[in-house]
Chains A and B, each alone.
Chain A
Amino acid sequence: GENVEQHPSTLSVQEGDSAVIKCTYSDSASNYFPWYKQELGKGPQLIIDIRSNVGEKKDQRIAVTLNKTAKHFSLHITETQPEDSAVYFCAASKDQAGTALIFGKGTTLSVSS
């Protein structure tokens, strides 16, 4: 089955710096890759996603890149702010009925002002 590895497990940056979180997946049939942000005491919030027919997607300060050949994808956050502090999860799935999102173990991002 699919396995998703996520690195680093913790990341500390200064406000205004960029942050990059990387994930690798094992199943070459996976074709949908969402990223979720989870704040303390809340459920995961979908922040951006990418499908395998696209190499990069941006939404304001966040961007996701996908390398299908290497089976890895990354989340980039620019101009980080204290409110970006949270746990970030990557996930992968085949994007078809009955298939689950397979999550990485998460990255705790701390942005200090």
Chain B
Amino acid sequence: DAGVTQSPTHLIKTRGQHVTLRCSPISGHKSVSWYQQVLGQGPQFIFQYYEKEERGRGNFPDRFSARQFPNYSSELNVNALLLGDSALYLCASARGLPYEQYFGPGTRLTVT
């Protein structure tokens, strides 16, 4: 079975721009969570979605938003990008809540 997939793999944006990151969970998984991983640190929780509803939100500004689609895939949107948003953005899927979370390879975002 395919694991969690994320797109794009890498992208470079300019300060002030907007970005959309995409995630497809493991087949049969209904929960998706988003994490931000800054170089040299552990992942930090941004959002959790289950059955298309937001179930949890981390300590991130309103510039960050997300949604989950009927097929359980998800998008993370970040507006008004700042240099500090440069990080690896990870998506994790789970069969439901609470269950083990499996991570995708991430999207490396660089803001210049």
Interface residues of A (CB under 8 A from B): 4, 6, 32, 34, 36, 41-46, 49, 89, 91, 93-106
Interface residues of B (CB under 8 A from A): 4, 33, 35, 40-45, 48, 50, 55-56, 58, 90, 92, 97-98, 100-106
Q: CA separation between A36 and B40, bound complex, in Å?
A: 15
Pair B44/A44 contact, Cβ less than 8 Å: no
Pair B41/A97 contact, Cβ less than 8 Å: no
Which of B40, B48, B100, B103 has its CB near the most chain A CB atoms (within 10 A)?
B103
Pair A34/B90 contact, Cβ less than 8 Å: no
Pair A46/B100 contact, Cβ less than 8 Å: yes
- Pick the residue among B4, B44, B48 that contacts A43 (CB under 8 A): B4
* A49 contact set on B, CB distance < 8 A: 100
Q: CA separation between A110 and B39, bound complex, in Å?
A: 18
Pair A97/B106 contact, Cβ less than 8 Å: no
Q: CA separation between A99 and B13, bound complex, in Å?
A: 31
- Pick the residue among A36, A102, A106 that contacts B41 (CB under 8 A): A106
Known: A100-B33, A104-B42, A105-B42. A46 touches B101 (CB 8 A): yes
Closest residue to A108 on the B side, CB-wise? B40
Pair B90/A43 contact, Cβ less than 8 Å: yes
Known: A103-B43, A106-B41. A45 touches B48 (CB 8 A): no
CB distance from B14 to the nearest CB of A (A): 24
Q: CA separation between A43 and B89, bound complex, in Å?
A: 9
* A34 contact set on B, CB distance < 8 A: 100-101
Q: CA separation between A10 and B22, bound complex, in Å?
A: 33
* B101 contact set on A, CB distance < 8 A: 34, 46, 101
Q: CA separation between A100 and B97, bound complex, in Å?
A: 11
* B33 contact set on A, CB distance < 8 A: 100-101
Pair B58/A106 contact, Cβ less than 8 Å: no
Pair B44/A103 contact, Cβ less than 8 Å: yes
Known: A91-B42, A105-B41. A98 touches B103 (CB 8 A): no
